[in-house]
């Protein structure tokens, strides 16, 4: 049996490994009706695997700043399952929400239909197989020289979300470096900085990060963030674990949380609209 086929057929064993280690999978809400070439990128959530059987896979609900995001029934998602260098993608649909015991009491969870098959994908930067594709959003990152200077820029970003007019105001920053947004968790994100840009990631632990998730968000989102840890992958790119930083502007936290919740809701609404039009 070819090695690639053998690894694909063992994906359920890998899913069991992930669960046993209290690990997670990643998924994104599918974006139907969008020209792939005009797709600014898919927001990928990293969630812990709680349990699974032959019919369903139960995972933590995605979270935005501590707020669980509700997913309705029959929402199409694209999932990513990874163990070491082995990576698979699959399509599924939600079966609704449930609750499960967590470290701080009962917590919301999402029931996914157990995929019947998965497909291997080769590289982290290019999440594409025959039946699904995830485009990782590009992030503009700037070393943040004066954290207080980010407050007016965050206010301008909030105003831009209301007006739809993109703000060009920047805090006091250093030269830009580019990254890819790998995933988002409870209070931060994972970034992949290509090796050609890694010098920028070493200039400052505090950064100004700008995400463009249009059309679901009216304008690019700028936010102060802190690089918590980094490591090199096998291609000498830098993975950076980044937490959002709201100590300098606490009122911005609920605004960002609402944006992320509304982003997921907009995708669900788009799916329903496309189904009705079909």
Nearest C-alpha neighbor of 68 from the set 276, 260, 274, 266: 260
> CATH for 138-276?
2.40.10
Nearest C-alpha neighbor of 79 from the set 35, 139, 15: 15
Mean pLDDT of the chain: 88
Q: Could you state, in order of their start, the residue ranges of all structural domains in the chain? A: 3-135, 138-276
pLDDT average, residue stretch 246-273:
94
* Residue scoring higher pLDDT (8 or 55): 55
Q: Please, which residues have CB within 8 angstroms of residue 150's CB and are 6 or more apart in sequence? A: 144, 171, 208, 224, 248, 249
* Res. 33: pLDDT tops 70: no
Q: What superfamily does domain 3-135 belong to in CATH?
A: Electron Transport, Fmn-binding Protein; Chain A (2.30.110.10)
CA 88 to CA 82: how far, in whole Å?
6
pLDDT average, residue stretch 192-220:
89
Q: What is the pLDDT of residue 123?
A: 57
**Residue 265 binned pLDDT confidence (cut-offs 50, 70, 90):** very high
**Residue 6 binned pLDDT confidence (cut-offs 50, 70, 90):** very low
Looking only at the bridges linking them, the beta strands covering 133-134 and 76-83 are unpaired
CA 217 to CA 35: how far, in whole Å?
17
pLDDT in tens, 155-178: 999 999 999 899 999 999 999 999
Q: What is the pLDDT of residue 9?
A: 64
Q: What is the pLDDT of residue 2?
A: 37
Annotate 235-258 with b (16+ C-beta within 10 A) or e (fewer): eebbbbbbebbbebbeebbebbbe
CA 129 to CA 156: how far, in whole Å?
39
Whole-model pTM: value is: 0.87
Element (H, E) at 278: none
- Per the CB < 8 A criterion, the answer to whether 38 and 276 are in contact is no
Residue 19, number of CB atoms within 10 A of its CB: 19
**Cα-to-chain-centroid distance, residue 136:** 8
**Residue 67 binned pLDDT confidence (cut-offs 50, 70, 90):** confident
Q: Half-sphere exposure of 164 toward its Cβ, with a 13 Å CA cutoff?
A: 2
**Residue 73 binned pLDDT confidence (cut-offs 50, 70, 90):** very high
* Residue scoring higher pLDDT (204 or 39): 204
Query: 191: burial class by Cβ within 10 Å (0-12, 13-18, 19+)?
Result: buried
* Res. 37: pLDDT tops 60: no
* Res. 261: pLDDT tops 90: yes
* Res. 1: pLDDT tops 70: no
pLDDT in tens, 125-147: 445 554 567 888 999 999 999 99
* Res. 122: pLDDT tops 80: no
């Amino acid at each position: 049996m070819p090695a690639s086929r053998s690894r694909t057929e063992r994906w359920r064993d890998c899913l069991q490994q992930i669960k046993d280690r209290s690990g997670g999978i990643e998924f994104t809400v599918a974006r139907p009706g969008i020209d792939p070439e005009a797709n600014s990128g898919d927001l990928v959530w990293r969630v812990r695997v709680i349990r699974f059987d032959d019919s369903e896979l139960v995972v933590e609900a995605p979270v935005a700043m501590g707020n669980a995001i509700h997913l309705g029934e029959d929402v199409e998602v694209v999932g990513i399952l990874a163990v070491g260098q082995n990576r698979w993608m699959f399509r599924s649909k939600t079966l609704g929400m449930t609750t499960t015991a967590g470290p701080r009491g009962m917590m919301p969870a999402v029931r996914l239909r157990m995929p019947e098959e998965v497909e291997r994908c080769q590289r982290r930067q290019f999440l594409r197989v025959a039946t699904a594709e995830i485009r990782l959003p590009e992030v503009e990152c700037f070393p943040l020289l004066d954290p207080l200077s980010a407050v007016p820029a965050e206010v301008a970003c909030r105003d831009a979300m209301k007006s739809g007019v993109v703000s060009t105001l920047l805090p006091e920053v250093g030269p830009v470096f580019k990254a890819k947004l790998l995933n988002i968790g409870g209070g931060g994100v994972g970034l992949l900085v290509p090796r050609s840009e890694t010098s920028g990631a070493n200039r400052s632990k505090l950064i100004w990060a700008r995400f463009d998730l249009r059309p679901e968000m009216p304008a690019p989102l700028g936010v102060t963030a802190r690089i918590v840890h980094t490591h090199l992958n096998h291609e000498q790119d830098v993975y950076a674990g980044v937490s959002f930083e709201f100590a300098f502007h606490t009122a911005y936290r609920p605004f960002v949380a609402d944006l992320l919740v509304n982003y997921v809701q907009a995708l669900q609404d788009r799916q329903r609209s496309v189904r009705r039009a079909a």
